[in-house]
Structure 1
Amino acid sequence: MYNTFINGVQHVWLGISIFLLLILSFSRTTIFKNALTERHFDRRRLVLFTVLFSAMAVSGTYWSVSAGGGIINFRAVGIMLAGFIGGPAVGSITGLIAGLHRAFFINTDASYIHGGLSILQGIAAGFTTNYLKSKHHRLWLWALIYAFLLEVLFWAFFALLTWPETVANPNALALLSLPILITNTIAVSLFIGVLEVSTYIWDSEKTKTTKNTFDAIQMIFSTLQAGFKDLTVTKITEIITTALPSLIWTAVIYKSRVYIRGAYKTKEDRTQGEAETSILRLQKSLPDMPHVLTLPVRWQDEIIGYIIAAKSKGDTFTKMGIEFLNGVCHIVEAIYEYEQMKEEKNLLAEAEIRALQAQINPHFLYNTLNTISFYVRSDPETARKLIKYLSDYFRHSLNNPSKFISLAEEMRVIDCYIQLERARFSDRLSVTYDFSEDMLETLQIPPLLLQPLVENAVIHGVIKREEGGTVRVGLIEHKTYNKIYVIDTGVGISRRKLKTLLIDRKRRDHIGLINVHQRLVSIFGERCGLHILSKEGKGTIVFANVPKVEKTKGKDDEHGN
């Protein structure tokens, strides 16, 4: 009896090992991907599971040893795995196929009983899948427990259905059931355990790949913040080579220049890499080779550069590697597009300043020249001063391309303008300033920020009042920003007109206000645009909250927001 038991276990285990090797070879494929966590499968995977486990169950019936009036086999392994992994449908169909095959094609004393119990075992295994998959750790142990219980129930029902023969010959029952119970239970647990480890490795690799990808993306964004320069483009090759350790060199071609980063691991890699990169430097391209991947970087249907990556000869790129490099290309394209938009935005801002400079009111110029003409005859010294003021006004207004200038420089333009207007309106125009001396040189503001506001206050406010009025220009300092304001005691603005004053229109009146507002919003954001408070007959307040930009060593025009 002992020898029969051992022989039965050995024979069945040999068969189980063969089929487990075959099935475990599939455990790293997409068929079994997330099989232990998913509760619902598409029709294709359900069919594959059914065919695979049914073949295992039927084959397990044939791979058998006669003992105790029956056969020792591993049919139940395929049936239970079908239920545990595939669910009720797969478990039930697999049990039905294996059970009918056992009942009608294998002739033993209890063929129909074995066949019927195999069908029930498949159904039971299918309905335990939710309990098994709800356990997030040590699934192999729970599979061992569930498989053991199903096998114990199988043989308990078998003993009950074959009563009283089993009571009369208990040794035969033990000889038949014990090898099956031991080997099948361990085999099911082993398969689930290996699948669990494969899933863990799969998830770990995916997590690691995702982390490397995000780290690389973050590094690329950080690197290219300074724009597409020699140093930053070189850094991209280093990032790609670090993210994909299997590469032996990486290159970026941008503006006909080739930036290369080597990561040679062997002498052969160095020889290969130096030969390929030498050709690349000369020809700016390489012939098609399986181990070299060339991806174009595009912008507006135009190729602006290439990203080239190479592996050792004989190696090819994985799907993950190709997707990663394509992703890097898309990121570089997006950053390049952002750079172009930023450059266009800067050019547009400069153009707006030039437009404002070009829109000097011809009436102001005409009236100023008439005033100078009057003083030429009556007071030549005053006329000389006015000509100098007009000259300085034009020089400062028309020849300042900087993004930021000092407050003192802006105030010089305002002072020239005020002196020219006072020559016309005399005591009707009064101007006061509220700035500290130290802030005049240190504080940086966009050019032509205050002068259009002062001009608007004079022309549309103070001068329209018969007795004239006062314009007050000042600044209130806060922790992170300065509130710059222009207040006049002019005629004020009606509520109806106030609502639409900062809306862009093709009218010339108040165009200076609109331009200043739009430039402030463009440079500093929505909260930093102009704010206007006014009451008819009382006057107007125009102010803006401008973030602090102080003068630094170096070029003033390199200030950013």
Structure 2
Amino acid sequence: MIFDLLITLLQNMSVIAVFAYLLSRTEIFKKVVYEQSSPRIKIFLIIFFGLLSALGTYLGVYIFGAYANIRAIGAVVAGLLGGPIVGLTTGLIGGLHRYTLGGFTAFACAVGTTSSGLTAGLVRKYRSFKQINAKFAFGLGILIMVIEMIYVLFLSESFVDAQRLVKVIALPMILNNALGIAIFINILKTTKNEEEKVRALQSQKALEIANRTLPHLREGLNYDSAAKAAATILSMTDIKAVSITNRNEVLAHKGLAEDHHQPGEKIITEATKRAIADRELAVIDKRTDIGCPVKGCELASAVVVPLKFDEELIGTLKFYKDNESSINDVDIELATGVANLLSTQIKIAHLEQAAQLTTQAELKALQAQIHPHFLFNALNTIISFCRTNPSEARRLLIKLSHFFRKTLKEGKKMVSLAEELEHVKNYIAIEKARFGDDLQMKIKVKDELLNLHLPSFILQPLVENAVRHGISPKSGIGIVEIIAKEKNNEVEIIIKDNGMGIEEGQLTEILKEGRGKGTGIGLTNVNSRLQKIYGNDYGLKIDSQLGIETKILVTIPQQDIEGGKA
């Protein structure tokens, strides 16, 4: 009898297993796997597994005035998915249903089923669904069913009848319920794993698309970049057509209906307008909702995803298919992933452009910072030479004009070391006219390094800083040296002076914004520009001994020789 009962329950349990497998293929079950904490999903779990628990009674076998059943499967699986409240409520539904059927075990079975759901829910509270596998579920099922058999023994109306019943039904019920719970959990875990694989593949595809579209979107979102991005997306997916818009018009359309969906057209589909207005994803399932005025247009369904930049909507990405209602979750997932990555790329392009503009603005600010004292002193020196040495005055005027032409004009971003040194020489020539032999300049640079490319207007501000703050306040002969040498695939340029030096406490503060002498823009600006171009490791390095000397180190990657990086 026990063996026959075991086989019968196993057959009936297989019905639930098949039912579970078929349901696992539906979209609602995929939501169950990923949205277990959602109130809407919890209500679904209670209703579905409550009915399944009641069905477990009907799929049982009537024996000795009671039911050998598989009712616990629904209650336990509900608890493992939804937690204590879901498990308790589901168990209560199955238990109350069993109680209405009567019999000497009615109360014991009702308590047992309710307890089973609650126990599974408490397990779920302290153990994530990721940690629950088929093996664990089988073991838990055995434990829960053993407890339920104890309830039957001690809560039934007749202990003698209950004892006779349990001897027959215990093994078949324990094994079949535990096996059913394990199979159900395994089906759900398999569904989740398959879904995660699909999502992983879509994420990988989205990243590949982003990687290929990145070079095109560096210039921002326009007709040309949108066309290249749309063509790339189309070639890497099974989507029939791809469209990219801004807020008002189509920027690019590739694929089906390309002959009449042209860039520059105003947006005509209501779904796209709604997605732009609501700033939310929209799915179009009908050809009529596409709204194409051309008769026979092949576009039948679409998903429209907003493109955003800092929460501001800048356009949309649209995926089209040629059959109505054919946009599925995979398409939506891919479109959303690609749209998010495109939005990020557009933001990066914008930030890069902003950084370039900032760097250019800083350069202009530095170029425009002609210290009044230098200008006045230079002019006064030239005026004095006009009386005593007109030819020297003429030479200084030429030097001054060259200096200001270099300083004030819209210069190149990168120049050769030779050009930068020429600018420094013009500056020193003007200052030397004022200081005379008390200012000397030494340049130690090998000829092969003169083609090194470095940012424009880097050395002169450092030399001017040495003259103004190092040499000018000090009596005696002041010497400024510029030394360039190769070291570890880099070129080190040292600006050295034998002036007043810098106090140790100021060394850590001098490169901070606004902390330098005067406005602080000179050293700070040069340091900032070097770091933005080459990285934080390439900022200025300052070493100074008070009253003895100051050294400023500029490091340039050696690949910039012969115009490499420039």
Give the TM-score taking structure 2 as reference length.
Answer: 0.72
1:248-397 alignment, distance < 5 Å: 248-253=240-245, 258-262=251-255, 273=256, 275=257, 278-281=260-263, 283-288=265-270, 290=284, 291-299=301-309, 304-318=314-328, 321-322=331-332, 324-375=334-385, 378-397=388-407
- Residues 366-389 of structure 1: CA deviation (Å, up to 9, x unaligned): 444454455555555444433433
Match of 1:209 among 195, 199, 202: 202
Distance, in Å, in 1 between the alignment partners of 2:538 and 2:501 is 23
Q: Retained in 1: the 8 A contact 2:42–2:82?
A: yes
Query: 1:136 — aligned with what?
Result: 133
Q: Match for 1:201: what amino acid?
A: E
Alignment of 1:485-524 (within 5 A): 485-493=494-502, 501-502=510-511, 503-504=513-514, 508=518, 511-524=521-534
Alpha carbons of structure 1 residues 66 and 336: separation in structure 2 relative to 1, 3 Å: closer
Cα shift at 1:507: 7.5
Give the corresponding residue for 1:269: none
Distance 2:372 2:33 in 1: 81
Rounded to whole Å, the distance in 2 between the matches of 1:187 and 1:235 is 53
CA–CA separation in structure 2 for the residues paired with 1:86 and 1:510: 63
For 1:390 and 1:103, the matched residues in 2 are separated by 105
**Corresponding residue number in structure 1 for 2:462:** 453
Superposition deviation, residue 408 in structure 1: 0.4
Matches within 5 A, 1:144-223: 161-162=159-160, 190-221=183-214
- Post-superposition shift, 1:285? 3.0
Contact 2:79 2:117 in 1 (8 A): yes
Q: Secondary structure at the match of 2:325?
A: coil
Amino acid in structure 1 at the alignment position of 2:467: V
DSSP 3-state at the match of 2:404: helix
The Cα shift of 1:407 comes to 0.6
The Cα offsets for residues 419-465 of structure 1, whole Å up to 9 and x where unpaired, read as: 3333333322221111111101x211222211222223234333443
Deviation string for 1:121-161 (max 9, x for gaps)?
66468647859976635568668877997899899999x94
Contact 2:217 2:225 in 1 (8 A): yes
Deviation at 1:405, TM superposition (A): 0.6
What residue number does 1:247 align with?
239
- Quick one: which of 435, 438, 441 aligns to 1:428? 438
Structure 2: distance between partners of 1:182 and 1:535: 86
Q: Alpha carbons of 1:381 and 1:323: their partners in 2 closer, same or farther (altered >3 Å)?
A: same
Offset from partner CA, 1:166-225 (integer Å, 9 cap, x none): 6xxx9xx97x89987887676556544433433332333333334434444454446645
After TM superposition, give the deviation of residue 410 of structure 1 in Å.
1.0
Q: For residues 162 and 498 of structure 2, what CA distance do their matches in structure 1 show? A: 116
Distance 1:85 1:99, change over 3 A: same
Give the TM-score of the pair, scaled to structure 1.
0.73
Matched-pair contact (CA < 8 Å) for 1:143–1:189: no
Residue type of the partner of 1:454? Answer: V
- Alignment pair present for 1:237 and 2:219: no
Paired positions, count: 530
Change in Cα spacing, 1:535 to 1:480, as seen in structure 2 (3 Å) is same
Corresponding position of 1:268: none
| Residues 1:372 and 1:41: Cα distance change in structure 2 (over 3 Å) | closer
After superposition, the C-alpha distances for 1:319-338 in whole angstroms (9 at most, x for unaligned) are 56445534544443443333
1:399 is matched with 409
- Bigger Rg over Cα: 1
Structure 1 unaligned spans of 5+ = 263-272
Match of 2:342, SS state, is: helix
Is 1:474 aligned with 2:471? no
Contact 2:75 2:113 in 1 (8 A): yes
> Closer, same or farther in 2 for the Cα pair 1:285/1:379, shift >3 Å?
same
| Preserved CA contact (<8 Å) 1:73 1:180 | yes
> For the structure 1 residues 117 and 551, does the alpha-carbon distance in structure 2 shift closer, same or farther, using more than 3 Å as the test?
same
Distance 1:434 1:337, change over 3 A: same
**Which secondary structure state, in structure 2, belongs to the residue aligned with residue 414 of structure 1?**
helix
Farther off after superposition, 120-129 or 51-60: 120-129
Q: CA RMSD in A?
A: 5.0
Structure 1 residues 455 and 64 mapped into 2: Cα distance closer, same or farther (>3 Å)? Answer: closer
DSSP-derived class of the 2:262 partner: helix
CA 246–138 in structure 1, closer or farther in 2 if over 3 Å, else same: farther
Cα 1:468–1:212 shift into 2, 3 Å: same
Match of 1:409 in 2: 419
Name whichever of 502-511 and 176-185 sits farther off: 176-185
The SS at the match of 1:540 is strand
Q: How does 1:513-552 map to 2 (within 5 A)?
A: 513-548=523-558, 550-552=560-562
Give the Cα–Cα distance (whole angstroms) in 1 for the partners of residues 95 and 304 of structure 2.
Answer: 57
- Rate the CA distance shift 1:536–1:164 in 2: closer, same or farther, 3 A: closer
Amino acid paired to 2:193 = Y
Give the 3 Å change call, closer, same or farther, for CA 161–27 of structure 1 in structure 2: farther
Deviation at 1:283, TM superposition (A): 1.9
**Amino acid paired to 2:270:** D
Distance of aligned partners of 1:469 and 1:187 in 2 relative to their CA distance in 1, 3 Å threshold: closer
Aligned counterparts of 1:213 and 1:252: Cα–Cα separation in 2: 16
Q: Quick one: distance in 2 between partners of 1:14 and 1:277?
A: 60
> What is the deviation of 1:54?
4.2
Residue pair 2:145, 2:173 contacting (<8 A) in 1 also: no
Q: 1:116 to 1:532 in 2, by over 3 A?
A: closer
Gaps of 5+ in 2: 272-283, 285-300
Q: In 1, are the aligned partners of 2:203 and 2:337 still within 8 Å (CA)? A: no
1:249 aligned partner, one-letter code: A
Give me the whole-angstrom Cα distance separating, in 1, the residues matched to 2:328 and 2:92.
41
Structure 1: distance between partners of 2:182 and 2:229: 48
CA contact 1:517–1:529 (8 Å) conserved in 2: yes
Whole-Å Cα distance in 2 between the matches of residues 359 and 182 of structure 1?
87
